Structure 1
Amino acid sequence: AVSKLLSFFRVGSVEAWRLKYGSANVAYRHSPSFKSDEAALATWLRLGELEAEGQACADYDETNFKHALREIRGLTRVPIEEALLRWRQLCNQSGVALALVRPLPKVALSGAAWWLSPRKAVIQLSARHKSDDHLWFSFFHEAAHILLHSKKNVFVDDTTPDKSKLEDEANEWASNMLVPRRRWQRFAERWPRSRRAIQAFADYLRNLNWRQLRLHNLRLSENTGVAFGMLQNLPGGRVILSAVGLFALVLVFYYLRQTGLRRTHMHLALGLVAGGAVGNLIDRIVFGKVTDFIVWHYHGHEWPAFNIADAALVVGIGIMALEILLEKRRHADRSPAEPAGEGQSHHKG
């Protein structure tokens, strides 16, 4: 088994593997949320290397690559499936291999940039977020590493904000390439953030087609914590959160038995809470994690990924809170009225 692995990685020994693929040769984004497994990451990079080796590229030319990037920027208005052929062609003509490799389990990253040889660079993308905006930004971020930074390191990037100088430079370059800062500032100062204004601004920049700017995306996300990705790194989280979920279910069913049938709204709320809790509990017990897949965007902000069970929990808790407030108001309205005639003198005429 070891010999087959060494053959796959094209190295002669475990020590050679560590020298080539070990973390000492990889410039990670220095973020505590970067959790990619080293062996899985090395495998993903090797798959990209194999794909890059199969692409016939001209010798790398920085000027040609910069010209190619300007044309590629215009491809952001085209669906990825239609843009891919020309996108890869432009990169190859500039001496850059473009490798699209699906992320492996335990590989939580968006892209990588490195040099296969002094004359051939590689940009490798995972498309793990399954959205056009993430994919294009990741590409231009990796292109910045190729243009601005050392050929000696492998730059491996997730999408977590990072404060290192190299990552700041790559982010700034990619942002300016896609939306020049001066034009954005001018737009922000003069125009409202309306749909029509954003459409006009996108058309003016010849960037992402405004129809691609959806309010939501479907994105596969594995969550070992609770709703909306909270408590991801809780020690013993699988057991603790499963126990909490079971306890909550017991409380729900106990309350249902104790209340009358007339409290329809509260029963509906408890049913939603119980359904959401059961759905997430089954995933957590069987798989050790919950699958989230819905992502909402609003005014440039992204809500953490969630699933139908999370939505049921939130809606159920909201109905419960509203029902409790209404019940308090009903009790206040039923308070006994002041006895009739109190405070009046009873004198016979």
Structure 2
Amino acid sequence: MIRTVESEPHASPPVLAAYSYCEAVTGRQARNFAYGIRLLPTPQRRAMSALYAFSRRVDDIGDGELAHDVKVARMEETRALLTRIRAGEVDEDDIDPVAVALTHAAGAFPIPLGGLDELIDGVLMDVRGETYETWDDLKIYCRCVAGAIGRLSLGVFGTEPGARGVDRAPEYADTLGLALQLTNILRDIREDAVGGRTYLPADDLAKFGCSAGFSGPKPPEGSDFAGLVHFEVRRARALFAEGYRLLPMLDRRSGACVAAMAGIYRRLLDRIERDPEAVLRGRVSLPGREKAYVAVRGLSGLDARHATRRAVRRRA
């Protein structure tokens, strides 16, 4: 897992153009993610953009208006492309800039590309319209669509030589992905419901009288919606606390990137906790200036040190 940024192979003009395309996709469609990766050295930032652009393609197939069978076929085509990328069979003059960039990134960093197979598996769960009875069931989905992204990202970041407990770094990266995904699920409750999707475990919905769903801007009559949200917020916070153990294992700028992205989502969680019904009225978000502030704190190490202290207290 340990490597140096300087080991990145030379990037030719076609490869640089492919990376530029991926960075444009990332900046346009992943504002929170983009705020974090701008803290990375250029080679790592490019590689993360390539990972995002490929992941975005998979998500767009799952979220699109295509017929079920067409979506499944497109997913399998994408999986076949991933097999070619893994084998290094994509030339730099290929017409697909995402494939070109990801092939180069996989040659520069020890990225566990099998995580993208997991992402495809997770999005196929969406295509099939799967629902989840328990948190253990939902965790399987979250590990595919978010935990895998954490482990892929760790392949780009690498770990610090001699870092204590480094063998558990993939586990912590995975857990941090779960924390981010659960926050996403809370933020998007209304949007997902309108789209016919329910992610929160049926057991939790029943416990708080919310099995009727969230088709409107108000909670189901007689439900304890605030109790449901606060219950899931506590679960997400516990995941963040566990996942933050990754931070001391990363170099300063990789740690800043992770702290910034996680910090943005933790602040979203704070807003959701303060006003649970806000997620039924629209998408909860942070203004750009607050995201920039979180990024600065991440680069200064403030959020990383604070989060690490909290993780240590929790472990104790």
Band the TM-score falls in, shorter-chain normalisation: 0.3 to 0.5
Higher alpha-carbon Rg? 1
TM-score (norm 1): 0.31
